[in-house]
Chains A and B, each alone.
Chain A
Amino acid sequence: MRVIIVDDEPLARAVLREHLAAHPDVAIVGECANGFEAVKAIGELAPDLVFLDIQMPRLDGFEVVELAGTRTHYVFVTAYDQFALRAFEVHAIDYLLKPFARARLDAALAHARTRLGGQAAQAAGLQAVVQEAAQRNTPLTRVLIRDGARVHVVPAADIDYIEAQDDYIAVCAGGRRWLKSQRLSELEAQLDPQAFLRVHRSYIVNVGAVARIEPTGRDSHCAVLRDGTRIPVSRSGYARVRDLIR
């Protein structure tokens, strides 16, 4: 079994390494000290199992899962996190509480083995846990976008608008576009409703980036951004704009 250990504390990685050494079928193929390395390593090494610390700089454990995908199996490791623990219990996600006994680690490992063999999917539960974690962080102050092995962190305040494109959304900030696989309505629910407005079925716009609203015909409008971009505004979108201004 190919395993990656992710924790920002060297000693925390050491204790996992020590305990895993007792299992000859486990090969530690990577150790990461932060979320960015983890996303990259999970993408490149495709491990069977990831021991993932939750509290890490820049990207926490949930954000790593959000970016790296739910194909891999994860065992979350945390010192103390009441909310997450409840979510883990509800969705039957494996976790370890620091400090943990070897027996506890062995049990988690055995559980992962049966899951790997039986292909019982952890994905649905994982997605639910990740989404609940994102809910706790709302309104979002930044949007995470994975671009191959790289991760872009786009501050929410820098975003001009977001456009839905087939199965993707395009996040546009300062003239650059990033594609992300997420539903527009999901992101809309996570952004600050005072700052971001769904002006159209396919568009969310940052109110701060709008220069003016222009009529484009009878009953139709468009938002002109500071950089000149024109965004269509639907009739219900226009009503929302007016509500916000009032």
Chain B
Amino acid sequence: MYGVFATWRSTRLYLLAWLMLGLLLAAMLVASGADWTASLLFAVPLAIVYAYATGYSAYYVCRAYPLGQAPLPAIAAGIGLSAACVAAFWCGMGMAWSSLLAAPQLAPFLAPMFGLGVILYGLAVTVNYLVLESERVRRLETQELETRLMARDAELRMLRAQVDPHFLFNSLNSISALTALDPPGARAMTLRLAEFFRHSLGLQAGRKVTLDTELELVRHFLAIEQVRFGARLRVAIEAGADALPCLLPPMLLQPLAENAVKHGIGRMLEPGLVRIEAARAGSLLRILIENDVDADEAGAPGGAGIGADNVRRRLRAAYGHEAGVRWTREDGRFRVELVLPAETETEES
């Protein structure tokens, strides 16, 4: 079953409309002098038969001439021809039916009946086009939703994979060194690394996490890097108590912290500081990630490129124009500032 007969509900509605038309037709016959019983007996079955005839044929005609694909004159000609055929068939049916019932004289009504048949057919075609169009829109919407979900999943997978291979192998190398020098330190580092990966692998695409959770991941990351870099890497993380329950897309801050270490501290000869500050100001959550950079480092502020673009894209996807990211470099410090709507689990609509 297709078109208006696709569901029970639409079938019933459709037949109801035709029943009304049949009654209207009967009323018109009564008005022209026929008696009620004969008119009803004649008009209602004829209307129902025509309902099925137009319903099916219009559906296939609409399928054969999809709007916006076939040229308009061809559509008009096709529909006109089938309307004429079906209406003529209906008139023939009416003639046969009226002679069978030996009831009202149909001959004077043939021309208006043919005209009515064509108009009703036109209506049926319009209804079918509407149904097809709404189906198409619904299908497109589902498709788009699916692709968006897939894209988000892929993005998170990519972000996880983006955890720098240098980070992993260098950390393993540190563990290798610590096993001889400092076995408890080696164990602690192994646990940190396990914690970091367990945490990042447990994230789900599209499921926002609290700032508290994200900062935990960042802390694990920075603690591991501190083992590698020793005194060269200093870390300061401050977050207001009201900021911690705020939600943000997962793995938003970790890549920024990674950049701060890789392109900031990792390129400095002297020790450097990575500072993260988060505060809630009314309906906004402000996050600042700041790191020292090498004073002599020539060229563009390293790492702003891909990492920052990524953050901007993700913020745009999650919040539209309500969120923003800004990065600056001044006084030997590189800073990334994020502003996003402060949402918490309970406030979120």
Residues of A participating in the B interface, judged by any CB pair closer than 8 Å: 8-12, 14-15, 18, 34, 36, 55, 57-58, 79-80, 97-99, 141-142, 153, 155-157
Contacts and interface: CB of A to CB of B under 8 A. Distances in A.
Contacts of B227: 11
Contacts of A155: 298-299
B177 A11 contact: yes
A155 B299 CA distance: 8
A12 B173 contact: yes
A79 B165 contact: yes
A120 to B, nearest CB: 29
Given A12-B174, A99-B169, 7 more contacts: A9-B173, A9-B229, A15-B176, A18-B181, A58-B269, A80-B165, A142-B298
| Interface residues of A, dominant DSSP | mixed
B268 A15 contact: no
Contacts of A153: 296, 298
Interface in B6-49: none
Interface in B46-73: none
Nearest to B186: A11
Contacts of B298: 141-142, 153, 155-157
Contacts of A12: 170, 173-174, 177
Chain B interface bracket (under 10, 10 to 19, 20 to 34, 35 or more): 20 to 34
B283 to A, nearest CB: 41
**Residue from B173, B181, B266 with most neighbouring chain A CB atoms (10 Å):** B173
Given A57-B269, A57-B294, A153-B298, A15 B165 contact: no
B47 to A, nearest CB: 75
Contacts of A55: 166, 266
Interface of B: 165-166, 168-170, 172-178, 180-181, 227-230, 232, 266-269, 294, 296-299
B169 A98 contact: yes
Nearest to A58: B269
Contacts of B170: 9, 12, 79, 98
A157 B169 CA distance: 35
Nearest to A10: B230
Contacts of B230: 9-11
Contact of B173 (A8, A34, A98, A157): A98
Contacts, number: 74
B174 A142 contact: no
Nearest to A79: B169
B288 to A, nearest CB: 24
A239 to B, nearest CB: 30
Nearest to B268: A57
A113 B299 CA distance: 41
B222 to A, nearest CB: 15
Contact of B174 (A9, A36, A80, A141): A9
Contacts of B178: 11
Contacts of A98: 169-170, 172-173, 176
A79 B269 contact: no
A12 B227 CA distance: 11
Q: Which A-B residue pairs are the 5 nearest by beta carbons?
A: A141-B299, A79-B169, A98-B173, A155-B298, A15-B177
A117 B21 CA distance: 107
B181 A14 contact: yes
A55 B175 CA distance: 18
Contacts of B181: 11, 14, 18
13 contacts: A9-B173, A9-B229, A11-B177, A57-B267, A57-B268, A58-B269, A58-B297, A79-B166, A79-B170, A98-B172, A98-B173, A99-B172, A142-B299
Contacts of A18: 177, 180-181
Given A98-B169, A99-B169, A156-B298, A14 B269 contact: no
Nearest to B298: A155
A18 B178 CA distance: 11
Contacts of B228: 9, 11
B24 to A, nearest CB: 79
B259 to A, nearest CB: 15
Nearest to B262: A55
Contacts of A141: 298-299
Nearest to A7: B173
A58 B294 contact: yes
A99 B268 contact: no
B267 A58 contact: yes
Nearest to B178: A11
B296 A58 contact: yes
A128 B253 CA distance: 40
A11 B232 CA distance: 13
Nearest to A153: B296
Nearest to A77: B173
A208 to B, nearest CB: 15
A132 B171 CA distance: 28
A18 B268 CA distance: 26
B269 to A, nearest CB: 5
Contacts of B177: 11-12, 14-15, 18
B174 A11 contact: yes
A156 B229 CA distance: 30
A142 B299 CA distance: 8
